[in-house]
Chains A and B, each alone.
Chain A
């Protein structure tokens, strides 16, 4: 499906007067196009095989295992208060963290791309640390920082703000692991953006804010959405760093991935796969929506109204 969509998109870019026409595609029952780049069949075959082996096979195992459950049992598992709450915590906080990362990631990118300052290379390299650091290490470090006797936690405690062992702690962990996704997707796009566009906006009388909102933001918007989607996807599935800081109180700060592990440890495999299936489907739907949104923003930015 994704391949077909990509094909259609590249086709549309090739000819400005492109209109999807049913007659043309039905007269040529194949979507294979004459191309100067050979090897389409081979590479597509490899792609599908690889995708099937690495991604689809484990996923289908998940669905098959779940299908052993009766429908009533399945519904009972996924609508249990504890499950619903865990899903709510996971998706809600992942969404929130991705949103915050999108905003602050954009600012970080702006600074890294637009300004020169001593130590810029080091700051740039630091961004990648959450990629490389074992998540458990990150979780332990964050926990000790934000615990009531930690460096940051001791400052927040007098204000009545408790971070460690609360949903707020989960948010902090998800912010930490999600930031590089936003920065690394938006950075090249902003770097490519011609600064003359901002000069042009200014010469036409736009204020700095107007230039940013009307010219820069629409140009980096698709990349921001991609970064958001990646940060969100990562945060939904995050386990290692969260379980240390979350406190893991059922119904308060218990995340869905942890609940799955707990069920597995109780040998309730069907329960675990049922929750996993719900997570999978929900993530897929959300990512699909974000993907469509991004595609729409991109098209609006290139050719088609």
Chain B
């Protein structure tokens, strides 16, 4: 099912949770809404689900207006961040809930309900837990129950709100792959909300980066990482070295010294030069315009990072540079930095 979000605005008192947001999600896609907390991603998800209504704008499912339908009538599977399992029902009854509340012509006979629930429990690989109560399950198991329960109503849209947020790192990775696999098996369009960039980049077909109630960029995981459209996206996704520079007469300056770097079409005025740490080489201080003193060197796992203090336009700036293997850097030495790839944005 295609989901069209057109010009959606939502305010909570004076706080604009969503500011004129438009987005199209194609049939069968797995889209991740990625952003820091307060960016409006969960609000957007809840509006798509029908748990929240926008102040203005439209939501269309397959071209049909969805806002006139309540959450009950939208037939969307929603997986809540804290699962929202019914604690007085066992796993089987939790999953069966969506089938048992049906009335009239849609009502299924008991045998059909049992068959469907067992099939779902098998699909999410927890058949052996059918008689347990939510309180007796681990986080990962609850997550699977929540998913099976959402899938019981055969939704065309599956919405997941921070589905792995409450799980430990190892279980999270495992479930992530499994969810991706499940999404491919089912005829479903999935939207996932997360603040974990790794999760979004690994899982999603397309990533929607949100900040301050606006969509900053929509693109494939590769695009948003390699070609961030805004400084916000660059900062938020992946590690970033940021230098406060200045564009004057079509050239980039740092602390008054010309850098010999391309300003990438940014107009005159203050600018920010952003680069990934692994795209910045260490060089001889005399061979580059960017140089400074090494404050400290840290090693974690395979990576080594050096804090380098540079002279900026308004006082010293400390940046974190990648130190290649086999190169020794003592604190106190002067070192030069040469960015191979970088982005310049107006500040």
Contacts and interface: CB of A to CB of B under 8 A. Distances in A.
Contacts of A197: 84, 86
Interface of A: 16, 194, 196-197, 199-207, 210, 214-215, 218-219, 300-305
Interface string B17-36: 00000000000000000000
B71 A206 contact: no
Interface string B59-100: 000000000001110011110101010111010000001100
A207 B103 CA distance: 10
19 contacts: A196-B84, A197-B84, A197-B86, A199-B84, A202-B51, A202-B71, A203-B71, A204-B98, A204-B149, A204-B152, A204-B153, A205-B102, A207-B72, A210-B101, A219-B87, A302-B87, A302-B135, A303-B135, A304-B133
A210 B70 CA distance: 15
User: Does more than half of chain A's interface fall in helix, strand or loop, or is it mixed?
Assistant: helix
B51 A203 contact: yes
B239 interface: no
A201 B97 contact: yes
Chain B contact residues (Cβ within 8 angstroms of A): what range?
20 to 34
Interface string B127-164: 00001010110000000000001101100000000000
Contacts of B135: 16, 302-303
Nearest to A221: B88
B97 A206 contact: yes
Contacts of A214: 86, 97, 101
Contacts of A303: 133, 135-136
B56 to A, nearest CB: 23
Nearest to B78: A203
B80 A199 contact: yes
Contacts of A219: 87-88
B41 to A, nearest CB: 17
Contact of B133 (A205, A210, A302): A302
Interface of B: 49-51, 70-72, 75-78, 80, 82, 84, 86-88, 90, 97-98, 101-103, 131, 133, 135-136, 149-150, 152-153
Contacts of A300: 88
Contact of A305 (B50, B72, B80, B90): B90
Nearest to B49: A203
User: Does more than half of chain B's interface fall in helix, strand or loop, or is it mixed?
Assistant: loop
A205 B75 contact: yes
Contact of B153 (A194, A199, A205): A205
A216 B77 CA distance: 21
A302 B71 CA distance: 28
B70 A202 contact: yes
Contacts of B133: 302-305
B131 A305 contact: yes
Ordered nearest first, which 4 A-B pairs have the shortest CB separation?
A204-B98, A301-B88, A196-B84, A200-B84
A215 B136 contact: no
A207 B98 CA distance: 11
A196 B153 contact: no
A206 B72 contact: yes
A202 B80 CA distance: 13
Given A203-B72, A300-B88, A303-B133, 11 more contacts: A199-B71, A200-B78, A201-B86, A202-B51, A202-B71, A202-B72, A203-B76, A203-B78, A301-B88, A303-B135, A303-B136
B80 A200 contact: yes
Chain A CB within 10 A, most for which of B75, B84, B135, B153: B84
A219 B50 CA distance: 25
Nearest to A194: B84
Contacts of B136: 16, 303
A121 to B, nearest CB: 21
Nearest to B75: A205
Contacts of B82: 194, 196
Contacts of B86: 197, 200-201, 214-215, 218
B84 A206 contact: no
A199 B45 CA distance: 13
A217 to B, nearest CB: 10
Contacts of B131: 305
B7 to A, nearest CB: 25
A210 B99 CA distance: 12
A201 B49 CA distance: 13
Contacts of B153: 204-205
